[in-house]
């Protein structure tokens, strides 16, 4: 996999995380306003999934940076 393809793949992980967090925030807010505990819980779960995607992106970035340092 080329360097730019790896970076693009990591960017996708970050974008997925942000999208999940936004979706979760919307669901959680609507759930609160509507008094829908299930929707509110789904929102919290989606936000947690988004955080996991962001963490995965951070881990991949760190590994990539470590690999670059080792190559020098």
Number of folded domains that form the chain: 1
Q: What angle do CA 50, 56, 31 make, to 5 degrees?
A: 10
Indicate if the pLDDT at residue 17 is higher than 80.
Answer: yes
Residue 25 domain flag: yes
- For residue 44, is it within any domain? yes
- pLDDT value of residue 5: 63
pLDDT category of residue 29 using cuts at 50, 70 and 90: very high
The answer to whether residue 35 scores a pLDDT higher than 90 is: yes
Query: Is 49 within the bounds of a domain?
Result: yes
Give percent above pLDDT 90 in the chain.
57
- Strand, coil or helix: what is 36? coil
70 domain-assigned: no
Domain that holds residue 15: 11-63
Identify whether 71 is part of a domain: no
Residue 6 in any domain: the answer is no
Could you report the per-residue pLDDT of 1-12, keeping only the tens digit for each? 555 665 666 688
CA atoms within 13 A on the CB side of 26: 7
pLDDT at residue 23 in the model: 98
Taking the CA atoms of the chain, what radius of gyration do you get in angstroms?
Answer: 16
């Amino acid at each position: 996999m080329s360097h730019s393809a790896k970076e693009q793949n990591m960017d996708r992980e970050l974008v997925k995380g942000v999208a999940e967090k936004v979706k979760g925030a919307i669901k959680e807010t609507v759930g609160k306003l509507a008094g829908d505990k299930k929707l509110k819980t789904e929102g919290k779960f989606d936000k947690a999934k988004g955080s996991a995607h962001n963490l995965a992106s951070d881990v991949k970035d760190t590994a990539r940076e470590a690999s670059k340092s080792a190559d020098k």
